[in-house]
Amino acid sequence: MVREELAARLNDREYKNWLKAGRCLLILKEGLHPFVSHHTRDFHADLLNQSPLLRKPCETSLCKPKRNQLSSACRPCAEWQTVILRHRRGADATVNWDNCFPPSWRTDHWEVAKAFMPRGQGKVKGAEQCDASALLNLINHCDCFHFVDPKCVREMLSLDLSISVSGLDRMDSAALDGLERDSVCQMKTSAGLISQWEAELLQERLQELLHAADDDAKTQVRRTDTDTEQLRRLGGFLQANRDLGERFSAELQAINALEDRE
C-alpha cells in the first residue's frame, strides 16, 4: 500500500519535480558541511586574532537578544555585535540575533555564523545540522565567503521547495483512485530509496518550520502569515496521505497544537 501511495504522488508532476529539486539540495548540503565548517572556523579565529577585546569573556553572562534586538550588551559582546554587522555582504542584510547566544561568541565559531542565517537556528550547534538553504544564506550574507559568486548562491536560494498548492489539492484520498499508476513497475527496485529521500525532505522541512515556530513562541514574535500557511498546507498534505501521516504523526500533533494556540 505504501508503494502504491508513493507511486500516486510521483504521478503528480509538480510533486515529482519538488522531490528531484529537494534531493539535489540534500546532496549539495552534504558537500557544503565541511566547506562551511572550515571557513567559518578560520573566520572566527581571524576575528579573535585581530581584537584583544573579542578575546575577553562576556562580563555578565546575561547578554541575550530579545525580539531580535541586542541592547545593553557588555563591552565584549557589543564589540562582537559591531564586528558581525561589519562583515555582512550587504548593508541591508538582516542579522538574526535571536539565533545567537552572545556569551558564546568568543568560544564557539558557530554562534557567530548563525547571526548570518535565517531565523529558527537557535538550537543548531553546527553545519551538519543545517539544511542547504540555511548554509546558502550564510554564504550569501557573510563576507568570509567573498570568493563565492553571490549570483550562483542566489539562484539556488530562489528555488521554491514548498509543496505546490495544485499538488496538494490533487493529492487527497479521493483523487488517488483516479491517478494512473504506470510508474509502479519502474519503481520496484527503487521505491524504498525514493521513499527514504521523500521522508528526509519532509522531515527537514517540518523541522525547519516547527523550529521557527518554537523560536517565535519563545521570543514572543508573531509568526508570519507565510509560515503559518506553509505549516497548515504541509499538515493537510500529510493527513491526506495516510502513509506519511503515520510516519510523521508526532509532527502532525505539533502542528495541530500550534493551530490550537492561535
* pTM for this prediction: 0.73
By C-alpha distance, which of 155, 128, 131 is closest to 209?
A: 131
- 156's grid cell: 539556488
Q: What is the 3-state secondary structure (H, E, C) of the chain?
A: CHHHHHHHHHCCHHHHHHHHHHHHHHHHHHHHHHHHHHHHHHHHHHHHHHCCHHHCCCCCCCCCCECCECCCCCHHHHHHHHHHHHCECCCCCCCCHHHCCHHHCCCCHHHHHHHHCCCCCCCCCCHHHCCHHHHHHHHHHEHHHCCCCHHHHHHHHCCCCCCCHHHHHHCCHHHHCCCCCCCHHHHCCCHHHHHHHHHHHHHHHHHHHHHHHHHHHHHCCCCCHHHHHHHHHHHHHHHHCHHHHHHCHHHHHHHHHHHHHC
Q: How confident is the model at residue 142 (pLDDT cuts 50, 70, 90)?
A: very high
By C-alpha distance, which of 13, 9, 1 is closest to 197?
A: 9
pLDDT digits (tens, 9 = 90+) for 107-141: 999 999 999 999 889 889 999 999 888 999 999 99
Torsion of CA 32, 19, 226, 71, to 10 degrees: -10
* Least confident interval from 9-13, 106-110, 208-212: 208-212
Most trustworthy range by pLDDT among 62-71, 134-143, 230-239, 250-259: 134-143
State the first-to-last Cα distance of the chain, in angstroms, to the nearest integer: 36
